Structure 1
Amino acid sequence: MRVAIAIDSLAGGGAEKVMLTLANEFTEMGHEPHFLVMTDDVAFDIPESLPVHVCFEKKDKDFNRFWNLAPAVAKLTNKIKQIESSVGKFDLFLSNLDKTNRLMTKTQVSPMFVVVHASVEEELSRHAKLGPFAFLKKLWAKKALNGHHLVTVSQGIADEIKRTKRIVPASIQCIYNPFGFDDITALSQQTPEGIPDSDYLIHIGRYVKQKRHDVLFQAIAQMESQIPVVLLCHNPKKALKAAKKYGVEQRVIIPGFQPNPFPWIANAKALVLSSDFEGLPTVLIESLACGTPVVSTNCPHGPSEILTGELTRFLVPRRDPKALATKLDEVLVSPPSLVDVDILAKVTAVRIAQEYLALVK
């Protein structure tokens, strides 16, 4: 099967990583994935066998236009036709992220499924605080999904869309994110430079408001333990400036983005997630696969679907630094057993790839 995966870029985010894992599994299964990236911005190591088609120049005014999408849609439609004339017709299109979705939903390509990676309502709430124009842009991006087939990466997102009725899709189903656990294990055994020799906690996430580094830093300040915290993020300068604001700059180690985070995770005492909202937080599952316990805010959506059974004691209310600090101290003293974690069997790459391929009836 020939599968087109459309996405804003391959610039290092969670959605991009998920789709790369899925594409690699499609290749392993003998299928032919192609990336349709809107702009040429790549942070990941892309296998030479994986075709990547850049659809717009970086400074293309049509692509970045908000009001009149017609020229960009026409360019994208023509680009897809050119690609198909060269490699053959695509059997399935998967569209990801708002900018791409706004265009792909107007191209008339079929069969197409839009993958929803995060809480719609939480994203809208966040943008409402940025002003009416920001909210309107985000709302229009979400409304573009009306009448289309949706795949959500957690059941919580699917339930939210059904409950709020802000989007009325043609269909909706949940397919978890895929994980290549053999690859994770192999990568976790590498020894990159910079990993601390002593104990540490780890936080992985872009330095954006959603990830709530401010809550994390307040929690660090309130912990009884003085264990350092490694931050893997794209903007070390901003992260360090915020750490200084909360008086914890001596407690954080910020090496910046790491193309292979798994040795850092595997050597940590625990991973912490302080987000206001997620879709299905990849880092939680990766941490459990590495044998590293996690402490997470019980944010919408995903953490409560990942941390089940004994692991639920390490779910804390969001925006509560004291509760987060308490559980971080607890996980250091009394870590949970990570034998037979339920979620890991549900998210193997081969299982998830089969679920995506089954979308084509």
Structure 2
Amino acid sequence: MRIAIAIDSLAGGGAEKVMINLAKQFISLGHEPHFLVMEDNRYYETPDNLPVHQCFADKDKDYDHFGRLGASVDKLRAKIAEIESRVGKFDLFLSNLDKTNLMMTKTGVTPLYVIVHSSVEEELSRQFKLGPFAYFKKLRAKKALNGQHLITVSNGIAKEIQAKGRLHPASMRTIYNPFEFNEIVAQSQQDNPQIPQGDYLIHVGRFAKQKRHDVLFEALKQTQNQLPVVLLCHNHKKAIKAAKKFGIEERLIIPGFQSNPFPWIKRAKALVLSSDFEGLPTVLIESLACGTPVVSTDCPHGPNEILTGNLAPYLVPRRNPAALAKMIDAVVAQPPSLENVEILAKVDATAIAEQYLALAK
């Protein structure tokens, strides 16, 4: 099958990484995925046999602007037709992230499935605080999901959409994100001279309000242990500036974006997630696959579907630095067993790819 994966860009976010992993699995199963990226913003490397088509020129700024949307949709529709004239018709379209979803849902391509990677309500709530323009722009993108076939990356997102009733999709089902565990383990064993020799904690995530570095830093200020903390994020200056407010900047190690974060995760005493909301936080599953215990806020959505059984105690209320600090100390002092972690059996890349391929049949 020929599959089009549409997304804003290949910048270093979770959705981008998930889709690259899915595309690699499609290739391994003998299929032909193509990326349709709206703009050229790339951190992640892609295989040579994975075509990447840029749909808008660098000069096409604000292509999702209210006044330009119609023309942008026409341009995207024409670009897809041009690509299909060269490579053949696509058997399946997968759309990701708000800007792309807004346009792909108006192109008329079929069969189209929109992947919902995060909490709809939490994203709207955050934009509401930024003012009416930001809120209505986000609401417009979410309303584009009405009448569409949705794939949610966790059961929690699906339950939220059903319970709130804001959106009325044509269909909705959950497909977890794919993980190639042999590849993760192999990459985790690579050497990297930047990695600290002693014990440390790790946090992986872009420096954004959603990730709540302020909660993380306040928790670190309260921990009994004084382990250094590796931050794998883009914005070094903002992270240091924020950490200074809590007096813990000397504990931070910020090596910048890492195309292979797994050796860093594997060698950590524990990984900490402090987010306000997620979809299915990839980094928690990757950490468990590397054999590194995790502590996470019980945020909507995903962590409570990942940390089950003997790992459930390592969920703490979100926005509660004291509870997070206490559990960080606990996991450092006595790590849990990571044998037979339930979620790992549910997210095997081949099985997940087969679920996506079945959408086109």
TM-score with structure 2 setting the length: 0.99
Stretch of structure 1 that moved more, 59-68 or 153-162 = 59-68
Report the equivalent of 1:136. Answer: 136
Report the equivalent of 1:104. Answer: 104
- Local SS of the residue matching 1:258: coil
Match of 2:298, as an amino acid?
Answer: N
- Local SS of the residue matching 2:124: helix
Report the equivalent of 2:175. Answer: 175
How far apart, CA to CA, are the structure 2 residues paired with 1:58 and 1:283? 31
Residues 19-58 of structure 1: matches in 2 within 5 Å? 19-58=19-58
Alpha-carbon displacement from aligned partner over 1:32-56 (angstroms, at most 9, x marks no partner): 0000000011101111110000000
- Local SS of the residue matching 2:93: strand
Match of 1:309, as an amino acid?
Answer: G
Report the equivalent of 1:197. Answer: 197
Report the equivalent of 2:263. Answer: 263
Report the equivalent of 1:350. Answer: 350
Match of 1:27, as an amino acid?
Answer: I
- Local SS of the residue matching 1:47: coil
Report if aligned partners of 1:117, 1:279 keep a CA contact under 8 Å in 2. yes
The Cα RMSD (Å) is: 0.8
Residues 266-277 of structure 1: matches in 2 within 5 Å? 266-277=266-277
Report if aligned partners of 1:202, 1:230 keep a CA contact under 8 Å in 2. yes
The alpha-carbon deviation at position 64 of structure 1 amounts to 4.3
- Local SS of the residue matching 1:331: helix
The alpha-carbon deviation at position 66 of structure 1 amounts to 2.9
Report the equivalent of 1:320. Answer: 320
The alpha-carbon deviation at position 335 of structure 1 amounts to 0.8
The alpha-carbon deviation at position 57 of structure 1 amounts to 1.1
The alpha-carbon deviation at position 311 of structure 1 amounts to 0.1
Report the equivalent of 2:280. Answer: 280
The alpha-carbon deviation at position 193 of structure 1 amounts to 2.4
How far apart, CA to CA, are the structure 2 residues paired with 1:102 and 1:7? 11
Report the equivalent of 1:220. Answer: 220
Match of 2:244, as an amino acid?
Answer: K
- Local SS of the residue matching 1:359: helix
The alpha-carbon deviation at position 113 of structure 1 amounts to 0.2
The alpha-carbon deviation at position 62 of structure 1 amounts to 6.0
Report the equivalent of 1:339. Answer: 339
Residue ranges of structure 2 left out of the alignment (5+ in a row)? none
How far apart, CA to CA, are the structure 2 residues paired with 1:275 and 1:81? 40
1:69 matched to 2:69: yes
How far apart, CA to CA, are the structure 2 residues paired with 1:341 and 1:67? 49
Report the equivalent of 1:149. Answer: 149
Alpha-carbon displacement from aligned partner over 1:235-259 (angstroms, at most 9, x marks no partner): 0110011011111001111111111
How far apart, CA to CA, are the structure 1 residues paired with 2:129 and 2:208? 14
The alpha-carbon deviation at position 332 of structure 1 amounts to 0.6
Report the equivalent of 2:291. Answer: 291
Q: 1:68 to 1:189 in 2, by over 3 A?
A: same
How far apart, CA to CA, are the structure 2 residues paired with 1:257 and 1:250? 20
1:13 matched to 2:13: yes
The alpha-carbon deviation at position 277 of structure 1 amounts to 0.1
The alpha-carbon deviation at position 117 of structure 1 amounts to 0.2
Stretch of structure 1 that moved more, 185-194 or 82-91 = 185-194
Identity between Structure 1 and Structure 2 (%): 68
Match of 1:221, as an amino acid?
Answer: K
How far apart, CA to CA, are the structure 2 residues paired with 1:247 and 1:62? 39
- Local SS of the residue matching 2:63: helix
Match of 1:93, as an amino acid?
Answer: F
- Local SS of the residue matching 1:46: coil
How far apart, CA to CA, are the structure 1 residues paired with 2:195 and 2:331? 21
How far apart, CA to CA, are the structure 2 residues paired with 1:67 and 1:160? 31
Match of 1:302, as an amino acid?
Answer: G
Report the equivalent of 1:81. Answer: 81
Report the equivalent of 1:127. Answer: 127
- Local SS of the residue matching 1:6: strand
Residue ranges of structure 1 left out of the alignment (5+ in a row)? none
How far apart, CA to CA, are the structure 1 residues paired with 2:2 and 2:333? 50
The alpha-carbon deviation at position 141 of structure 1 amounts to 0.5
Q: Extract structure 1 runs of 4+ deviating beyond 4 A.
A: none
Match of 1:8, as an amino acid?
Answer: D
